[in-house]
Amino acid sequence: MDRMRGKVAAITGGGGGIGAATVRRFLEEGAKVAFCDRDAEKGNAFERQLGSDDALFKPADVSRETEASHFIEDTVSHFGRIDVLVNNAAVRNYVDVTEASVESWDHVLGVNLKGFAFCAKAAILAMRRSGGGVIVNLASVRSLVAGPKCVQYDTTKAAILGLTRSMARDHAPDNVRVMAVGPGPIFTDFHENRAKDLGQTHNEYREAFGNDTMLNRPGTPMEVANAILFVASDEASFMTGTCVFVDGGQTGF
């Protein structure tokens, strides 16, 4: 299928995990895709791996408004327009509120919340000029269900639901739909590194990860990318201001 034929998407945090799977999925469906990542080496390597004239990598730290804006501007300059923004870039620390420093709060809020707003601001201004578009914000099951020592991450993901609703209401007159997608336990390269930090093997960590879902397994980045593609497509044209959870039923318990 060519559900994104003729459309241009900008994806943050596209160098790995869910972001990289989304880049691949949008390209498969005919989109031209710009993606950014703070890790320039990883992003450039992924761009070479893709080997497509329809894929463009730009290094950017979305917590800095100038870099977020430049990423969107570079997308429009290179491809001529922007139809879809996927706000995916995120960081997390494993601390409780008594352990969280001012610096770590600033860092997590900067990437996970302000970065979404900065990219959305630039994208909406561009979408107005071309007749509208779609913004997809990556929320999480942590928007609703607390995790141990995830106070900063959980706080920002809860805020993403409010940001999504507010932007959807404000910018419906601009023909801009705003949706959220909330992944549950999705096994990515982040969790490979997390397993090492906990002194566990890949299999040990993976067997335990996701066993509290109805499906008794973790999800894959591509399963989330498929949901992002759907809500960004014209098939979801009557959906805005809400969240689709891709969590194996975890939020249903």
- Active-site residue list: 153
Pick the closest to residue 186 from 39, 16, 9, 68 (CA basis).
16
> Within 13 Å of residue 194, how many CA atoms lie on the same side as its CB?
15
3-state secondary structure of 177: strand
3-state secondary structure 191-204: HHHHHHHCCCCHHH
Please list the residues that pair with 135 across neighbouring strands.
Answer: 85, 178
The whole-angstrom separation of Cα 202 and Cα 204 is: 6
Strands (E) in 70-110, as ranges, are: 84-87
The stretches of 110-209 forming alpha helices (DSSP H) are 115-130, 151-171, 189-197, 202-208
CA-nearest of 165, 183, 7, 23 to 90 is 183
Q: Answer whether 184's CB lies under 8 Å from 209's CB.
A: no
**Beta bridge mates, 36:** 12, 58
Nearest Cα residue to 247 out of 151, 166, 140? 140
The 10 Å Cβ neighbour count of residue 169 is: 12
